[in-house]
Structure 1
């Protein structure tokens, strides 16, 4: 039995489908089963509630062989530490008490870089990884750069203004990855019972691109001009707070962006093992263009 947390998000939704496609038994932890993808509820076991709740997790982990662990950080949390380690700490005992054979989690690139200790969400994620690894449960932390899918948040400005906004440097090449590829890597590791111990597994897209290059690709796919515009950090933080983020969580997003500007995502050499297939152009064609056209 494979337990999937956060099964209604971009990664979890695809992961559940990937696992079901190969006949794996799946149990999901979800607050609202109505948010599962159509046709999924009838094919999986459902445990209702939050995977930050020890009672819920005790039920969900019973008899499970593997767990997919994803913390969708509460944007209104009082601190970024509370959003990740604070969410995870109450349920750590369940990883070993319930005899889980392996855990695969969503993490981030950056460990060992000079800026990793001041990288907001990334710093907090790496601390959460350490908590899980310290339990002794076999753990693979999927370390990712920025998600291509985050570009969907700006489908509106892209469609109406022809602009992609952000605090990132316009000319810094960096990796990005499609969430569908993250799900595919997670599905493979969850079904593989041969690994032990703790390791980070970088999950990189096939190429590094600057934001100016990404805007040029978007322009070509949409057949309309789109440019990238870097905005000041404080303006970015203010935008996040207007969108509902608490001040500490908005600051953590800004700290992460600034760390990426200083090379946070550029410390891993791309190899065939760490490279995933979906190019940014293909992702724009498959995902961004339909969203913008709608």
Structure 2
């Protein structure tokens, strides 16, 4: 039995479908089972609730050969550490108490870089990874840069204003990765029974692009002008708070962005093993271009 947390999200939902396509038995933990993709609920075991709840993980992890561990976003948390390690503690205890065979976690790049200790969300994620690895459960932490799919949240300003905004410097080449490639790597490890120990697995996407280059690729695919505009640090944090983030979590987002500007995501050399196939151009064709229609006047 393979357990998937956060099965209605971008990564978890794709992992569930991949596992079902492979014929694997799947159990999911879902806060709202009604949000599962059409046709999924009848093909999986569903444990309702949060995987931050000790009773829920105790039930869900019983007899689990493998678990996909993904901490949900909590923009109102009191601190980044509470959002990650605090949320994860019941699950971490259940990994050993319920005899889970293997755990695959959704993590982040940055370990070993000079800025990793002050990288907000990433610092908290790496601390959680350490807690999981310390249990002795076989663990693969998939270490990712930013997701291409997050650009989709800006489909409206991209189409209506021709602007892609962010707190990142425009001229530093950075890796990005498509969530479908993350899901493919996670699925492979969940199905593979032959690995042991704890390791970090970088998942870098296919190319490093500056944000100016990213805007140019999107413009070329969409056939309309798109430019990148860097948001000042203070304005970025203020916008996070205005959108419901606690002060601590807004600061964690800003600290992560500043760390990426200082090289957080550039510490792992690219190799064939950590390079995934979906280019930004292909992602824009497949994912962003269809979103364009919903933000254009008839």
Q: TM-score, normalised by structure 1?
A: 0.99
SS in 2 for 1:175: strand
Q: Aligned pair 1:284/2:284, yes or no? A: yes
Residue aligning to 1:139: 139
Pairwise mapping of residues 132-171 of structure 1 onto structure 2 (< 5 A)? Answer: 132-171=132-171
Partners of 1:248 and 1:288 lie apart in 2 by 31
Q: What is the rounded CA distance, in whole Å, between the counterparts of 2:78 and 2:184 in structure 1? A: 33
Structure-2 residue corresponding to 1:173 = 173
Separation of aligned partners in 2, 1:136 and 1:72: 23
Return the alpha-carbon distance in structure 1 between the equivalents of residues 267 and 171 of structure 2: 17
When normalised by structure 2's length, the TM-score is: 0.98
SS in 1 for 2:172: coil
- Give the match for residue 37 of structure 1: 37
Counterpart Cα distance in 1 of 2:101 and 2:7: 20
Residue segments in structure 2 that go unaligned for 5+ positions in a row = none
Q: Aligned residue for 2:81?
A: 81
* TM superposition shift of 1:91: 2.8
1:8 aligns with 2:46: no
- 1:242 counterpart residue number: 242
CA contact (8 A) 2:57 2:90 kept: no
- Structure 2 counterpart SS, 1:224: coil
Deviation string, structure 1 residues 221-269 (Cα, Å, up to 9, x no partner)? 1100000000101101111111111110010000000000000000001
Listed as ranges, the matches of 1:205-216 within 5 Å are 205-216=205-216
Give the root-mean-square deviation of aligned CA atoms.
0.6
Counterpart of 2:109?
A: 109
Q: Does the 8 Å CA contact 2:205/2:275 hold for their aligned counterparts?
A: yes
Counterparts of 1:243-282 in structure 2, within 5 Å, are 243-282=243-282
Are the aligned partners of 2:68 and 2:104 in contact in 1 as well (CA < 8 Å)? yes
Q: Deviations over 1:8-60 (max 9, x none)?
A: 00000100000000101100000111100011001000000000111000100
1:293, distance to aligned residue in structure 2 (A) = 1.7
Task: Confirm or deny: 8 A CA contact 2:66 2:103 kept in the other structure.
Answer: yes
Q: Which residue number corresponds to residue 188 of structure 2?
A: 188
SS in 2 for 1:105: strand
SS of 2:68's equivalent?
A: strand
Q: Which residue of 1 aligns with 2:201?
A: 201
Determine helix, strand or coil for the equivalent of 1:157: helix
Contact 2:221 2:285 (C-alpha < 8 Å) held by counterparts: yes
Structure 1 runs (4+) greater than 2 angstroms displaced: none
For each residue in 1:184-222, what CA deviation from the matched residue of structure 2 results, as whole angstroms up to 9, or x when unmatched?
A: 000000011111110000001110000000000010111
Asked if 1:98 corresponds to 2:98, the answer is yes
Match of 1:22 in 2: 22
Shift of the alpha carbon at 1:73? 2.6
How far is 1:178 from its partner?
0.2
- Matched residue pairs, number? 294
The answer to whether 1:46 aligns with 2:53 is no
